[in-house]
């Protein structure tokens, strides 16, 4: 069973992937909820434009998305240099860049799931909360948000899964540096490019399958308990 | 507290142009569906912004388009009981009831919850979620939730419309208690003449977005010219009566009104209680001389006060029976045959069995015993 044991380098790739996907999902979440709310409820100029912009990474080749990120968020890119100079956040060739790429790729999936659940919320409940004295912000926090928890969970799982599997945009934006930006897919890709790398590729593939299964199970359990709380028979 | 409304607003097929003022008690907005009732209370609640007009409660201006005032709904302190309840599915009944307390300027005291729970009889369902409540329970919780937000006015939009007859009978007494025991004025929207006569002290009659009449319920009900709007089939008179005695041998109850003595199937009401009797026009017959050898027990002398417009086969005749109004629906042929005109002395005949419990309202509903409840089934 020796071939089943992960080498330290492989462990690093697994840990890095989990970290990148988790950070990408958690940081995207508040933006995801905000954009989904705006798209579901807002009536403003540029509504379709925002919708298209959010969905773009889903349709573009990942390499294109990665290249756009490189132009914008690279060390000399307009956004990248600003963030590096003023906030000390550097994306290029760092794991943070991988997280950004994964987050951007997972964002449309997250927004879609949350938006659908917001559209399913009965606005008459929100009206009722208003007549009971709750301002719009309180209505959102005490009525809308609890009712869309299942949608938020689904959105987070989808985003996490996308982030775990993201390859093209990440490798284009931050390359494939072991220990810094080499996530599971990049590591598997590297193994397939060297002679005798088959065993390593297989090990990491099994790890990927296991993580995906766990994520699905967890989402199933969470969605079930959320639905039970809402008493949906 | 006076509620004053003067609004103009465009709605689907007709313009809403309503203007009325009412005092305290239970005010009913009555009219066919689509007459603008719900739009008016949505404007009062702040769910609709009227194109033009003013809404005031007492000294508080809620809407005044001329001065650019529009108080947002969450600052109005107006309780709203919706037709479909609209309870929050993610909260328990207790949390639903206390929801408004988070935002009330002077939060309701702990004993207020107990009092409202007691008033509405929902103590046994406090820890449940709305998904597990019956329709009647949901509506009572919705009423309690609105009350506990300490509103200065309570709006009820056909709160019984989605319930069957048994559930309606279950909730009506609670609304009566609410009307009699709390000082919150209530605006009650309905298209059921039975509910309105039973509950309302003031009636606002709406037709195609306009106010057709405003006044005390009985007065509006007795106006023959409004019958096309109040609904002919269920139309009738409202009689104030007092319980005089019970006849145990034949299981009858005798009521005294200004019109005379009424005999009804035995009611479980203490002697001396006051109640309202609704006598439908189609249950009233007229005779020119005192009839003998007659099964009908209620024979009330009076004079013809008014006869509705004489076209079509059916006319309504309003009687004055000792100062109490009664309405009879007759064929035009009978009116002609009996030679009825204003001032003709007549006797009104009403079968006792036509006056069942559904034609009554008053304090006795709260004191009904368990076996009266069982008889009702």
Tell me, what's the pLDDT at A37? 94
* Statement to judge: residues B148 and B40 lie in one domain: yes
Window from A156-170, B101-115, B148-162, B287-301 with minimum mean pLDDT: B101-115
Cross-chain residue pair A128–B82, CB shorter than 8 Å: yes
Q: DSSP string of A65-100?
A: HHHHHHHHHSTTSHHHHHHHHHT----TTSHHHHHH
Window from A227-231, B26-30, B293-297 with minimum mean pLDDT: A227-231
Q: What is the CATH number of the domain that holds B348?
A: 2.40.50.100
For B112-149, the pLDDT digits (tens) are: 888 888 888 888 999 998 988 888 899 999 999 998 88
pTM value is 0.78
Q: What is the CATH number of the domain that holds B30?
A: 3.40.50.300
- In angstroms, rounded to a whole number, what is the distance separating the alpha carbons of residues B130 and B147? 18
Neighbours of B261 (CB within 10 A): 14
Tell me, what's the pLDDT at B273? 84
Tell me, what's the pLDDT at A135? 92
B154, part of any domain: yes
Helix (H, G, I), strand (E, B) or coil at B163: coil
- In angstroms, rounded to a whole number, what is the distance separating the alpha carbons of residues B297 and B260? 12
Partner B contacted by A121 (CB < 8 A): no
For A100-122, the pLDDT digits (tens) are: 999 999 999 999 999 999 999 99
Q: ipTM of this model?
A: 0.81
For B222-235, the pLDDT digits (tens) are: 777 777 777 666 77
Using 50, 70 and 90 to split pLDDT, how confident is the model at B295? confident
What whole-number percentage of chain B has pLDDT above 90? 22
A220, part of any domain: no
* Statement to judge: residues B286 and B139 lie in one domain: no
B377, part of any domain: no
Tell me, what's the pLDDT at A2? 62
CB contact at 8 A, B229 and B207: yes
Which residues on A lie below 8 Å from B89 (Cβ)? 125, 147, 230-232
- Mean pLDDT along residues A54-70: 92
Tell me, what's the pLDDT at B103? 83
How many CB contacts within 8 angstroms connect chain A with chain B? 79
* Domain range for A105: 15-183
Using 50, 70 and 90 to split pLDDT, how confident is the model at B373? very low
The counts of H helices and E strands in chain B are: 10, 21
Using 50, 70 and 90 to split pLDDT, how confident is the model at B307? confident
Which residues on A lie below 8 Å from B108 (Cβ)? none
Could you tell me which residues are beta bridge partners of residue B17?
B8, B210
Q: What is the mean pLDDT of chain B?
A: 84
* Statement to judge: residues B66 and B205 lie in one domain: yes
A230, part of any domain: no
Beta strands in chain A (DSSP E): none
Window from B234-238, B326-330, B349-353 with minimum mean pLDDT: B234-238
Report the chain B residue with the minimal C-alpha distance to residue A143: B88
Number of domains in chain B: 2
* Statement to judge: residues B344 and B274 lie in one domain: yes
Which residues on B lie below 8 Å from A138 (Cβ)? 74, 102-103
* Statement to judge: residues B178 and B284 lie in one domain: no
Partner A contacted by B90 (CB < 8 A): yes
Tell me, what's the pLDDT at A233? 39
Report the chain A residue with the minimal C-alpha distance to residue B78: A131
Window from A113-117, B206-210, B354-358, B367-371 with minimum mean pLDDT: B367-371
CB contact at 8 A, A143 and B86: no
Question: Pairing state of beta strands B345-350 and B153-157?
Answer: unpaired
Report the chain B residue with the minimal C-alpha distance to residue A132: B100
Side-chain-facing half-sphere of B101: CA atoms under 13 Å: 15
Partner B contacted by A120 (CB < 8 A): no
Using 50, 70 and 90 to split pLDDT, how confident is the model at B35? confident
* Statement to judge: residues B207 and B303 lie in one domain: no
Number of domains in chain A: 1
B78, part of any domain: yes
Q: Which of A44-53, B286-295, B353-362 has the highest mean pLDDT?
A: A44-53
Q: Which run of H or E residues covers position A151?
A: helix A149-165
CA neighbor of B91 nearest in space, from B142, B53, B22: B142
* Domain range for B278: 236-370
* Statement to judge: residues B302 and B198 lie in one domain: no
- In angstroms, rounded to a whole number, what is the distance separating the alpha carbons of residues B18 and B188? 16
A188, part of any domain: no
Could you tell me which residues are beta bridge partners of residue B207?
B210
Using 50, 70 and 90 to split pLDDT, how confident is the model at B208? confident
What whole-number percentage of chain B has pLDDT above 70? 91
B173, part of any domain: yes
pLDDT at A143 over 90: yes
* Statement to judge: residues B350 and B253 lie in one domain: yes
Tell me, what's the pLDDT at A112? 93
Can you say whether residue B53 is alpha, beta or left, with left for phi > 0 and alpha for psi between -120 and 50 degrees?
A: left
* Statement to judge: residues B68 and B190 lie in one domain: yes
Helix (H, G, I), strand (E, B) or coil at B64: strand
Tell me, what's the pLDDT at A230? 66
Tell me, what's the pLDDT at B132? 86
Query: Which of B192, B221, B250 is the last residue before a domain boundary?
Result: B221
For B43-102, the pLDDT digits (tens) are: 999 999 999 999 999 888 999 999 999 999 999 989 999 988 899 999 999 999 999 888
CA A172 to chain centre: 18
Tell me, what's the pLDDT at A81? 86
Query: Which of B163, B193, B221 is the last residue before a domain boundary?
Result: B221
* Statement to judge: residues B37 and B112 lie in one domain: yes
Using 50, 70 and 90 to split pLDDT, how confident is the model at B362? low
pLDDT at A91 over 50: yes
* Statement to judge: residues B293 and B330 lie in one domain: yes
- Measured between alpha carbons, how far apart are the two ends of chain A, in Å? 47
Partner B contacted by A135 (CB < 8 A): yes
A205, part of any domain: no
* Statement to judge: residues B287 and B257 lie in one domain: yes
The encoded tokens of residue A171 equal 């490798």
Phi, psi at B311, each rounded to 5°: -140, 155
Using 50, 70 and 90 to split pLDDT, how confident is the model at B294? confident
B242, part of any domain: yes
pLDDT at B354 over 50: yes
Report the residue from A127, A134, A230 with minimal CB separation from B89.
A230
Q: What is the CATH number of the domain that holds A102?
A: 1.10.3720.10
């Amino acid at each position: 069973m020796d071939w089943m044991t992960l080498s330290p380098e492989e462990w690093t790739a697994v840990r890095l992937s989990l970290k990148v996907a988790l950070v990408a999902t958690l940081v995207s979440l508040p933006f995801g909820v905000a954009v989904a709310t705006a798209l579901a409820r807002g009536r403003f100029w540029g509504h379709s434009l925002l919708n298209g912009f959010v969905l773009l990474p889903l349709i573009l080749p990942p390499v294109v998305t990665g290249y756009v990120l490189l132009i914008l968020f690279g060390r000399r890119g307009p956004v990248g240099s600003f963030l590096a100079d003023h906030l000390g956040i550097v994306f290029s060739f760092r794991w943070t860049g991988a997280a950004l790429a994964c987050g951007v790729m997972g964002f449309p999936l997250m927004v879609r799931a949350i938006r659908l659940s917001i559209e399913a919320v009965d606005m008459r409940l929100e009206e009722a909360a208003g007549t009971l004295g709750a301002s719009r912000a309180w209505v959102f926090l005490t009525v809308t948000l609890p009712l869309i928890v299942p949608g938020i969970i689904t959105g987070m799982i989808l985003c996490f899964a996308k982030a775990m599997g993201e390859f093209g945009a990440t490798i284009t934006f931050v390359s494939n540096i072991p220990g810094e930006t080499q996530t599971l897919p990049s590591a598997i890709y590297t193994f397939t490019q060297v002679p005798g790398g088959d065993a390593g590729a297989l090990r990491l593939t099994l790890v990927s399958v296991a993580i995906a299964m766990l994520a699905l199970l967890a989402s199933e359990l969470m969605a079930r308990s959320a639905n039970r709380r809402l008493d949906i028979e | 507290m006076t509620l004053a409304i003067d609004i103009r607003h465009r709605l689907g097929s007709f313009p809403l142009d309503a203007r009325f003022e009412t005092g305290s008690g239970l005010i009913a907005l009555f009219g066919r569906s689509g007459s603008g009732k719900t739009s008016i209370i949505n404007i009062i609640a702040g769910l609709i912004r009227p194109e033009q007009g003013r809404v005031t409660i007492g000294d508080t201006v809620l809407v005044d388009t001329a001065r650019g005032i529009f108080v947002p709904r969450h600052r109005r302190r107006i309780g709203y009981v919706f037709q479909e309840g609209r309870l929050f599915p993610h909260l328990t009944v207790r949390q639903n009831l206390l929801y408004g307390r988070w935002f009330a300027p002077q939060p309701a005291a702990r004993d207020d919850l107990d009092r409202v729970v007691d008033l509405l009889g929902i103590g046994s369902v406090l820890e449940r979620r709305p998904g597990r409540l019956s329709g009647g329970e949901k509506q009572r919780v919705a009423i309690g939730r609105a009350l506990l937000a300490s509103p200065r006015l309570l709006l009820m939009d056909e709160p019984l419309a989605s319930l069957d007859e048994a559930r309606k009978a279950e909730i009506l007494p609670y609304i009566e208690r609410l009307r009699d025991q709390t000082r919150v004025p209530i605006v009650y929207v309905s298209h059921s003449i039975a509910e309105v006569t039973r509950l309302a002290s003031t009636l606002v009659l709406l037709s195609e977005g306009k106010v057709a009449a405003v006044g005390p319920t009985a007065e509006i009900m007795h106006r023959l010219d409004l019958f096309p709007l109040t609904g002919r089939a269920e139309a009738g008179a409202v009689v104030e009566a007092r319980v005089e005695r019970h006849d145990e041998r034949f299981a009858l109850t005798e009521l005294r009104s200004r019109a005379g003595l009424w005999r009804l199937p035995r009611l479980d009401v203490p002697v001396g209680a006051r109640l309202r009797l609704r006598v439908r026009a189609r249950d009233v017959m007229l005779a020119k001389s005192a009839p003998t050898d007659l099964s009908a027990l209620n024979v009330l002398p009076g004079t013809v006060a008014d006869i509705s417009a004489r076209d079509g086969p059916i006319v309504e005749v309003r009687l004055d029976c000792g100062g109490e109004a009664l309405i009879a629906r007759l064929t035009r042929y009978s009116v002609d045959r009996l030679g009825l005109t204003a001032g003709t002395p007549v006797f009104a005949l009403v079968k006792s069995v036509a006056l069942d419990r559904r034609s009554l309202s008053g304090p006795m509903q709260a004191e009904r015993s368990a076996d009266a409840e069982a008889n009702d089934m």
